[in-house]
Structure 1
Amino acid sequence: MYRDNLIGANAFGKHFSVKDKNRSVLQEQLILKYNHDEQTLYIKWEGEVSSNELRQGYAHIMNMVLTYKPQKWIMDLQNRLSIEKEDQQWVFKYIFPQVLRAVNKNVFVAIVMPVFAYNSLVNEIDGDELMDGDNFMIIHHFLYQEESRRWLLEMAETDLKIA
């Protein structure tokens, strides 16, 4: 399901399957929750995250995506240390397309992060990763979580009117 053509294996590589409930939980680096009232997936990464931990974390995230099909995300990266360029590209090339296919609607991602980190995040993508048929992943950068929540509410209302 999560094919990584670069390594010729599952996109989560040799780490584990998304359905593997016994995988280690990144209790110090990753906080995940789904708010049913807001219909929003909250993702908070903290500290230093290795490539292996990043893939473990995104397996947890994909499990949430497959369960709740969230169109609205708040991804808080304010306290996460930089990750390798290859890991950033892996997320855009393999995870985000899978998210779009799983949700099968537009997905709005509000990323809360320091300004200095934003350019490195979007500098290497061409945009094809953020489209699946008529559905798009729309990513916007924010300095504060409350600001991101207002944007998500506005985008969800606009998306519902268009649909």
Structure 2
Amino acid sequence: MLLENQVCFEVHAAARALDGLYRRLLRDLGLTYPQYLAMMVLWEREPVTVKELGAALRLDSGTLSPLLKRLEAQGLVRRERSASDERSVLVRLTPGGAGLRARAEEIPARVAAATGLGLEELVGLRDTLRRLTASLDGAVRTAAAEDGDRAGTAR
């Protein structure tokens, strides 16, 4: 039970260190790290629905809505009802939001350099973290299903 032996702590510590680095790098862009991630999705493929954006970022609507509201207030995105499905809200880049991409393009290379890892190590780490996330998501789904089974048999 030593903290230094726990994988969860090392992942947490690395995430906090990355957050600190991104905070400094994104300051000039006027973005927070979650806003930067949302912009990355939009730079890659826009328009997207709010639901699609939330799924891509693993954020619920209670977290995503204020984030989008702030990006909209900054003039970087706009939200509009889908013409084909009024229940769906599309998020689009404004010209200012699209133009911000050029200023953000150096950030991934700066982060990669700051890690002290080579390209092969970074790709391996990314792939390992993807497998870890998928395994943990599976464990949560299994536990939720087992909880549901227990709740059903307790009735």
Kindly indicate which of the two structures has a greater share of residues assigned to helix: 2
TM-score, normalization: structure 1?
0.24
RCO higher in structure (CA 8 A, sep ≥6): 1
Computing the radius of gyration over CA atoms, which structure comes out larger, 1 or 2? 2
Kindly indicate which of the two structures has a greater share of residues assigned to strand: 1
TM-score, normalization: structure 2?
0.25
